[in-house]
């Protein structure tokens, strides 16, 4: 019989922020630098963002729902915005997953410049969308 693990244990038995730190350090190359930079931009855009570690090693940033993930591959770092199809992208950052009905992604390759202002605006828009779509928790009292 399987023993159920607590929520903390499901976070892979570690503080998500420390696990992200360790991933950045373990990469030790431009991908780690890129992940560290986008992480800093996400935190600047939404200071109250929660960092999570899901799906056996994927950094996730959330605020009233998932904003984006930060996946690292051999040739690129991918920021997947879970509700990206619902976000305006005037700077044209989205360059992957463009045919999807829900998600959109930004693939960053070695040497790519990051439009920091546009990325922060996209992160803020994703967080605002999450807040606008958030459902009240059962049993929560309404203000008024």
Query: Residue 126 in 3-state DSSP?
Result: helix
The per-residue pLDDT for 133 is 83
pTM of the shown model: 0.83
Q: Is pLDDT larger for residue 140 or for residue 106?
A: 106
Q: Which of 49, 50, 101, 112 is nearest to 78 (CA)?
A: 112
- List, for residues 3-33, the tens digit of each pLDDT value: 444 444 444 457 999 999 999 999 999 999 9
- List, for residues 78-91, the tens digit of each pLDDT value: 999 999 999 999 99
Q: What is the mean pLDDT of residues 73-77?
A: 97
HEC profile for 53-77? EECCCEEEEECCCEEEEEEECCCEE
Residue 144 confidence (pLDDT) above 50: no
Contacts of 13 (CB under 8 A, 6+ apart): none
The per-residue pLDDT for 4 is 45
CATH code of 13-132, in short, is: 3.90.1150.200
Q: Which of 98, 37, 107, 122 is nearest to 73 (CA)?
A: 107
For residue 31, give both structure tokens.
């991908």
Residue 136 confidence (pLDDT) above 90: no
Residue 96 confidence (pLDDT) above 70: yes
For residue 57, give both structure tokens.
């090693």
Q: What is the mean pLDDT of residues 65-89?
A: 97
The per-residue pLDDT for 140 is 54
Q: How is the chain split into domains, by residue range?
A: 13-132
- List, for residues 124-133, the tens digit of each pLDDT value: 999 999 999 8
């Amino acid at each position: 019989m399987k023993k159920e693990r607590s929520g903390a244990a499901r976070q892979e038995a570690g503080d998500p922020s420390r696990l992200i730190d360790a991933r950045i350090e373990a990469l030790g190359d431009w991908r780690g630098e890129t992940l560290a930079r986008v992480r800093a931009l996400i935190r600047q855009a939404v200071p109250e963002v929660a960092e999570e570690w899901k799906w056996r090693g994927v950094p996730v940033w959330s605020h009233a729902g998932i904003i984006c993930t930060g996946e690292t591959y051999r040739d690129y770092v991918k920021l997947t915005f879970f509700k990206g199809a619902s976000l305006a992208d005037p700077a044209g950052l989205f360059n992957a997953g463009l045919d999807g009905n829900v998600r959109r992604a930004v693939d960053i390759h070695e040497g790519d410049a990051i439009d920091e202002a546009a990325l922060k605006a996209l992160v803020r828009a994703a967080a605002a969308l999450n807040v606008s779509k958030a459902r009240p928790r059962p049993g929560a009292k309404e203000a008024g």
